[in-house]
Amino acid sequence: MLYQGVHKDGEKIAVKMLYDMPGLDEEQFINEFNNLSRLQHPNLVRLVGYCHEIQKICIEHNGRYIFAERIRMALCFEYMPFGSLDKHLYDEYNELDWKVRYTLIKRICKGLKYLHEELRPPIYHLDLKPANILLDENMLPKIADFGLSRFFAGNHSQITTSSIGTLGYLPPEYTERNLISDKFDIFSLGVVIIKIVTGPKGYSRSAEMSPQKFIELAQENWRKRLQATPMHLLESYSKQVKKCVEIALSSVEADRRKRPSIGDMSENWMTT
């Protein structure tokens, strides 16, 4: 559960309370704290503090009063005034114009590139989705919620028995064989990009038609929306829409070996 709080220096903060949550795993709290404490990037949420407190409480049990331990855990983050990205993607024609969406996509990719290719050992997020992407006062994105993320030193793919991720953002190699790798995040990122460009139902629509048809549909919809835009900008934006959808579709390939790396994706943005 998230609360708004105030740091001792007067700064607004977001407080993620974890106590009394069913199924809470203390190891997950420690994992998220350890991962967050390493991160230094403008497109990753910044950890500003934490609380881990054990209280002795008196409770009645089988007619007797006994003392039990209650663990209270909280993580404190920089405050994100525009909330999570999913609140802004209720359709493809809401208040987010194309320039904002394109910036969101590029910045999310920068954050993921830092996790995958600039950290040693790399961190795989394993639950990338719009609800875990927060927006600051300038509508710039920051990847959040690292409770399921993992370090991957040496072997960059593993079989897991853990339940991770969110339905709709899970790659087939995980749902079928419990395999996780960097391409898990790439698949999730592809779904996120499709939803940013084409709205929350875009990913399901993409499965109903050929890639080329879906790309053309996305371009046509944005051309209609941007019809008042000067022609030179309209052509540039249309190319960006095409590039985004092409990259996103390659990222959700069923065969993980055909998906690009985050480095490949980042290089592609340089050409648009």
Of 86, 127, 136, 145, which is the active-site residue? 127
Top-ranked range on mean pLDDT: pick from 31-40, 68-77, 209-218, 221-230: 209-218
- Percent of the chain past pLDDT 70, that is, above it, reads 90
Classify the C-alpha dihedral 33-39-43-46 as positive or negative. positive
- What pLDDT does 20 receive? 55
Type of residue at 153: A
- What pLDDT does 91 receive? 60
pTM (predicted TM-score): 0.86
Q: Tell me: the pLDDT tens digits for 108-165?
A: 999 999 999 998 888 899 999 999 999 999 999 999 988 766 766 555 678 877 788 8
CATH 1.10.510.10 fits 85-269, yes or no: yes
Q: 255 an active-site residue? A: no
Residue 263 has pLDDT above 90, yes or no: yes
Domain ranges for the chain: 2-78, 85-269
Per DSSP, the three-state class of 134 is strand
- CATH C-level class of 2-78: alpha beta
Type of residue at 19: Y
Listed in order, strand segments (DSSP E) in 11-83 are 12-17, 47-61, 64-78
Q: What is the arithmetic mean of pLDDT over 35-42?
A: 87
Q: Where are the alpha helices (DSSP H) in the chain?
A: 26-38, 98-113, 172-177, 182-198, 202-206, 211-225, 231-251, 262-269
Are the C-beta atoms of 153 and 121 separated by less than 8 Å?
A: yes
